[in-house]
Amino acid sequence: MIPATRRDSPAADRHGAGHAPCHHGEILQGVFLDAAGRRCAGLVTLPMGGPGSRAAFTRRPGTPPERLGVRPGDRTKAARAAALAVEECSRRCGEPPCGGELRLSGDIPVGLGMGSSTSDVIAAVRAVADSYGMRLPAAAVARLAVRAELACDPLMLDTRPVLFAQREGRVLEVLGHRLPPLVVVGCALGGGAPVDTLSLPARALDDHDVRAFERLRVLLRRAVATGDAALLGRVATASARRGQRLLRHPEFDALVGIAGRLEAVGVQIAHSGAVAGLLLDAAAPGLRHRIRGCVRALESEGIPVTRTFTTFPAPPGCSAPPGRADRADRPDLPNVPTTKESPSGPAHRGGHRPTGPDTPRRPARLPAL
């Protein structure tokens, strides 16, 4: 049966697909100075492979642009991003904007600070672009993402560590080629309950705060340049402590204590959620023993363990079996982040860097992370 939206369309429907990853919270977040000396909110995220958002967009040429539906219906930011992407792509192609249908699916838990909404938005933009047979530059994707949700994570970029102005959608600094080799033992604070970041009180930052963040930026730049996992851990821990001035997770001191007892290089948290991680130097001896120790210590403190992953690619042919949240038994086969964005749809094949599509997004069971 031909859908009603297609009867008045002189052209065939066009289909596109898009995908976007998530992250595991931040290594560093604060207020920094841009090249012009202006203050900017900025962050450095910790990439994580595995969960992500997928989008399928059916473009219906000849229909009014306001006839753009989304499923599930609560993904309003993604719907707004799709409408903006249609406007952008039609302008680039010299075609009139039209309506369509956006379907989203994904397995990123909500409220943990893993970039679930940005992942939805970027997947939607990529799916729309793919339906036009094009691939938008990362800067254009970032601009549309900020317009759709006011602030976004740098998930449209590759996994090079960057200081990203999330409210402006621009890179303040590329810190280097890759993060030092780390193993991250992930966990969820607050029992994994979603964090309503809009309800958090705003904290005024003065020149002293900005100088402190700039010092951490310098140290992180040095850690990336030299591959110094211990120095990165110091930066992440200092940033996490500052984040606790607002988040106030009751388990944070226990997390830091575990890191000290088991010789982790530091801790990291999502500054807008509950996900956190113990950072271990992947080159240090006794890694398996320390991973197991971290898992046991977290469990003894009642802190749910989620996923163990690394900041470096797995050896060729190695991949983690699905369904394993804890890789303590095989740290050489972790769930690793991709080094490039996964291809999505015909227009994305060759270089870009999930359950039912009608299921409303909800906090996932923690082991599924």
What would the pLDDT profile of 333-366 be if each residue is shown by its tens digit? Answer: 233 333 333 335 655 543 333 333 333 343 334 4
Cα torsion 245, 264, 174, 123: sign: negative
CA–CA distance, 253 with 244 (Å, rounded to integer): 10
DSSP assignment of 99-164 equals EEEEEEEE-PPSSSSS-HHHHHHHHHHHHHHHHTT----HHHHHHHHHHHHSS--STTS-SS-EEE
| Tens-digit pLDDT profile for residues 24-77 | 999 999 999 999 999 999 999 999 988 999 999 999 999 999 999 999 999 999
| CATH classification of the domain holding 281 | 3.30.70.890
Establish if 365 belongs to a structural domain.
no
- Which residues form the domain of 176? 4-352
Measured between alpha carbons, how far is residue 120 from residues 81, 102, 312, 317 in Å?
Answer: 9, 11, 25, 29
Q: Which of 109-118, 236-245, 316-325 has the lowest mean pLDDT?
A: 316-325
pTM above 0.75, yes or no: yes
pLDDT at 118 over 70: yes
Establish if 312 belongs to a structural domain.
yes
Establish if 292 belongs to a structural domain.
yes
Establish if 358 belongs to a structural domain.
no
* Predicted local confidence at residue 245, as pLDDT: 87
Predicted confidence band at 136 (pLDDT cuts at 50, 70, 90)?
Answer: very high
One-letter-per-residue 3-state SS of 316-339: CCCCCCCCCCCCCCCCCCCECCCC
Compute the average pLDDT of residues 7-22. 80
Half-sphere exposure in the Cβ direction for 258 (13 Å, CA) = 29
Establish if 192 belongs to a structural domain.
yes
Establish if 8 belongs to a structural domain.
yes
Query: Which of helix, strand or coil describes residue 165?
Result: strand
pLDDT at 8 over 90: no
Establish if 289 belongs to a structural domain.
yes
Query: Which of helix, strand or coil describes residue 84?
Result: helix
Which backbone phi and psi does 325 adopt, to 5 degrees? -85, -30
Establish if 110 belongs to a structural domain.
yes
Measured between alpha carbons, how far is residue 321 from residues 70, 163, 336 in Å?
Answer: 33, 32, 12
Domain count, the chain: 1
pLDDT at 323 over 60: no
Predicted confidence band at 189 (pLDDT cuts at 50, 70, 90)?
Answer: very high
Query: Which of helix, strand or coil describes residue 174?
Result: strand
Check whether the bond before 72 is cis (ω within 30° of 0): yes
| Tens-digit pLDDT profile for residues 197-247 | 666 666 678 899 999 999 999 999 999 999 999 999 999 999 999 999 888
* Predicted local confidence at residue 197, as pLDDT: 65
What percentage of the chain reaches a pLDDT higher than 70? 79
